[in-house]
Structure formats: structure tokens, C-alpha cells
């Protein structure tokens, strides 16, 4: 496997809203990789450890969502901006349809596209996040720690949140902490994060959801036509594994793979097993949408 370079793979796409940064690695059918949310997150950091293997089979496109400190900032809610940025990105590259891997928030974004624009998604892989709490009340432990950090960004708070993301705390290295801290506390990025995860924003969102007459995305999962692989860490403290029960049952062509001794980042903490399951699914002849 060839070494994948950050600088060599980095590209930019000008859109009407602003510049979208992305990384392109490999050749073959297009595979769009969508990152999650949280302090200091980027698409590159989510997928740099697995893009080498994936790029042996696919043209991997790692999109940096607006509002997370890499692509344009935007003036909206990060989740709301993300979906539109995906469609603009695909249109800008002239791609009619792609396979999608989405981590956490990225999985929800991918699911929404599969619901609302099914012709754009061939196959969908999600990493935690998608669904609805069945056994426990939200927010989860990890989301509460994320809110605490967003309200009061301290290094200690960041460590607590990062530790909630993993089963093995050894994964939270000083190098990981330093790179996350630098981007998470950048003023514009922090201000945008507070639109999403501050305690005030979360309370406002809960009130709006309770008053809304619109159907939540998780109640429309049955509309997803794309074959779907749900990947989950058994020990996920951010998106507890019981959330998988709803999409597992409602998405018509869904499969679920749960990894033991693994937290929220299955592509990092269960790297080899995750790659094996995902590549088997994406390269299987009968996993293409009908």
C-alpha cells in the first residue's frame, strides 16, 4: 500500500457558497467519505488511517464539510450546511451517483441524501450515529461531554470528551490531543460549533423538534433504497449501540456489523476488522442498488 500524502491529495472546489476542500486518492468507482462532528474534527483525520486500503479499489473523495475550519465557514447550522455541500460537491465534480461512507454525523448526512435523492447513492456505509435511542434517554454521555467542552473549552474537557469516544484510552495520544485542540479552539470554528453543540443550541433544537410538524429523518429510513451496511462499536458511549436497532429493522436492505471492544470510531479502533467488513460489502456484486 502506497503512503497517502495530505498535501498531494488535497484539492479545492469552488462553489457558489464558497470553497470546498477535499482529498482525492485512488482510481475506480467514486467513494465519498463524510466525516463526523466534534472538536477539531476533519475528514482527513477521520479517514487518513484507512484511505490507503480503500483507494486500492475506489476513487476516494474525502469531503471537508463547511463550518469545521477547513472548507468555507458558512453562516448556518453545520448539519444543515452539510447536506447541501454534498450535492454541490457531486454536481461540481460531475458525479451522478457514488458510494458513501459516513462517520457519525456524516452517516446521518448520507442517510438523508439516500432518502431525499436516492439516485445519488449506490451503497451506504455508516459508522455509528444513525438512528434513535431505544433503551436510554438522550443525550448520551459522550454528547454531554461534547456540550460541556463547547460551553467551556478547556484541555481537560477535551480529554474527557476524547476518552468517551474510544474503548481504549491509549488511542488518545498527545499528538491527537494537540491537533484537535488547535482546531477546536480556533475562534471561528468554535463559534460555529456552538451553533450545534452548546447547551443553549441543544436545548433550542430539542424544543424545535418537539414543536415541529415535520417528520424526523429516522422515521423515514424505510425510504432508503441503497444497500446499507451499519457499522458500530459495541462500547460506543456517544451513540449507544441500541440506536442501531431502528435502522437495522427499517432500512430494507440493511446489514449490521458490531465490533467488540470498540467505541465510536470503528474505522480507527477496529481498523482491520472494519476494513475487512466494509470492503467485502462494497466490492460484493449483489450489494449494488437495484
Among 23, 35, 257, 264, the active-site one is 264
Instruction: Say whether 112 sits in a helix, a strand or coil.
Output: helix
**Residue that is written with C-alpha cell 451506504 in the block:** 124
Residue 271 CA to residue 132 CA, distance in Å, equals 25
Nearest CA to 90 out of 51, 121, 67 is that of 121
**Residue that is written with C-alpha cell 486500503 in the block:** 53
Query: Is 35 a residue of the active site?
Result: no
Strand 98-103 to strand 59-63: parallel, antiparallel, or no bridges (unpaired)?
A: unpaired
C-alpha grid cell, residue 226: 441503497
What is the end-to-end Cα distance of the chain in Å, rounded? 32
Residue 43 CA to residue 10 CA, distance in Å, equals 11
Nearest CA to 258 out of 268, 279, 244 is that of 244
Using CA atoms of 140, 224, 92, 1 in order, give the dihedral in degrees to the nearest 10: 70
E strands, the chain, in order: 10-14, 19-25, 30-34, 59-63, 98-103, 121-127, 228-233, 254-259
Element of type H or E holding 93: helix 78-93
CA 270 to chain centre: 16
Active site residues: 264
Amino acid at each position: 500500500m502506497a503512503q497517502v500524502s495530505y498535501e498531494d491529495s488535497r484539492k479545492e472546489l469552488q462553489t457558489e457558497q464558497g470553497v470546498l476542500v477535499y482529498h482525492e486518492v485512488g482510481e475506480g468507482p467514486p467513494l465519498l467519505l463524510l466525516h463526523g462532528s466534534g472538536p477539531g474534527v476533519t475528514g482527513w483525520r477521520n479517514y487518513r488511517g484507512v484511505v490507503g486500503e480503500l483507494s486500492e479499489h475506489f476513487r476516494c473523495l474525502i469531503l471537508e464539510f463547511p463550518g469545521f475550519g477547513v472548507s468555507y465557514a458558512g453562516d448556518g447550522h453545520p448539519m444543515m450546511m452539510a447536506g447541501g455541500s454534498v450535492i454541490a460537491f457531486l454536481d461540481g465534480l460531475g458525479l451522478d451517483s457514488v458510494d458513501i461512507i459516513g462517520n457519525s454525523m456524516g452517516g446521518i448526512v448520507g442517510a438523508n441524501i439516500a432518502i431525499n435523492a436516492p439516485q445519488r447513492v449506490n451503497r451506504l456505509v455508516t459508522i455509528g450515529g444513525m438512528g434513535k435511542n431505544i433503551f436510554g434517554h438522550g443525550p448520551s454521555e459522550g454528547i454531554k461531554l461534547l456540550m460541556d467542552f463547547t460551553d467551556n473549552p478547556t484541555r481537560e474537557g477535551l480529554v474527557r470528551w476524547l476518552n468517551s469516544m474510544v474503548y481504549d484510552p491509549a488511542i488518545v495520544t498527545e499528538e491527537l490531543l494537540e491537533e484537535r485542540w488547535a482546531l477546536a479552539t480556533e475562534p471561528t470554528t468554535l463559534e460555529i460549533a456552538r451553533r450545534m453543540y452548546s447547551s443553549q443550541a441543544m436545548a433550542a433544537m430539542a424544543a424545535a423538534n418537539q414543536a415541529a410538524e415535520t417528520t424526523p429523518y429516522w422515521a423515514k429510513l424505510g425510504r432508503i433504497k441503497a444497500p446499507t451496511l451499519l457499522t458500530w462499536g459495541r462500547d460506543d458511549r456517544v451513540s449507544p449501540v441500541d440506536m442501531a436497532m431502528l435502522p437495522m429493522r427499517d432500512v430494507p436492505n440493511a446489514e449490521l456489523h458490531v465490533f467488540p471492544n470498540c467505541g465510536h470510531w470503528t474505522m480507527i479502533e477496529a481498523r482491520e476488522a472494519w476494513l475487512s467488513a466494509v470492503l467485502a460489502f462494497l466490492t460484493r456484486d449483489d450489494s449494488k442498488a437495484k
